[in-house]
Amino acid sequence: MQENSRWHAFDDAKQIAVAASQQILTAAERAIADHGAFKLVLAGGKTPADVYRLLAQAHADWSKWWIFYGDERSLPADHPDRNSVMASQAWLNNGSIPAEQIHTIPTEIGTELAAAFYQPLVAAALPFDVVLLGVGEDGHTASLFPGHQHDQRELVHAVYHSPKPPSERVTLSVSALSSSHEVIFLLAGGDKQGIVKRWRLGDELPVANIQSENPIDIYSLKTYLEAVPQSEYSSQHGTAVDSVRHSHDKMPL
């Protein structure tokens, strides 16, 4: 489990999207002021799509933004199930960010070739400024699935035999996703109570392997957090819970 994380509880997915978009925009201003660029890793899924639609309406120094992806399905470049297609439709097609600064994972050329192509791009970009991630009902994040073994020296993995279709994917590694000034998890949609309970009680899960130099922010529906009462969580982890800060924010509408 992450030993340095902040759990934030929200009433609905809309509030999560607002909070995440605000954090991303604030991080971008800070990164651009500090080192002249903002490097953001995108996630797939419905809740991230809501974040992207909010970013599309925002004002920022887009010329300094650089976009990467945490994972991608091995599908044709224009397939609607690709994360890059979703992000493009929700946000990136509006042209605010220069096209040459948007780095998609070219899985259409083949899984192994795409992973090899993306590896040096990731190596040159590290550390990222913000990594945005989702969580699956089995505890996977990006395309890092339970039970899968990968070469820990890699920054980008070719993924085969995914338990969710399509079976082939490309994903950033645990070390690459952890090499970020800020990491944000978005938890909304689906039956996540069970996996949140396992995560908070310290089970070995891919999502729990992601670390960061700063506290990880986990934006969750309140209903998911109710699966583990605070007393039970604290008793399981003893003094370790002292390093975990819990906040139950309610975003203004």
Plot region of 45 (φ>0 → left; ψ -120 to 50 → alpha; else → beta): left
174 domain residue, yes or no:
yes
pLDDT tens per residue, range 182-225: 999 999 988 899 999 999 988 999 999 999 889 999 999 999 99
pLDDT tens per residue, range 134-188: 999 999 999 999 999 988 899 999 999 999 999 999 999 999 999 999 999 999 9
Which CATH number covers residue 12? Answer: 3.40.50.1360
Using 50, 70 and 90 to split pLDDT, how confident is the model at 226?
Answer: confident
According to DSSP, the residues that pair with 182 across neighbouring strands are 130
Average pLDDT over residues 17-24: 98
**CA 33/CA 53 separation, integer angstroms:** 24
The pTM assigned to this predicted structure is 0.90
32 domain residue, yes or no:
yes
111 domain residue, yes or no:
yes
Q: Can you give the residue range of the structural domain that contains 15?
A: 5-247
21 domain residue, yes or no:
yes
252 domain residue, yes or no:
no
When divided into structural domains, the chain yields a total of: 1
User: For position 75, what pLDDT does the model report?
Assistant: 98
88 domain residue, yes or no:
yes
253 domain residue, yes or no:
no
127 domain residue, yes or no:
yes
Asked whether residue 252 carries a pLDDT value surpassing 70, the answer given is no
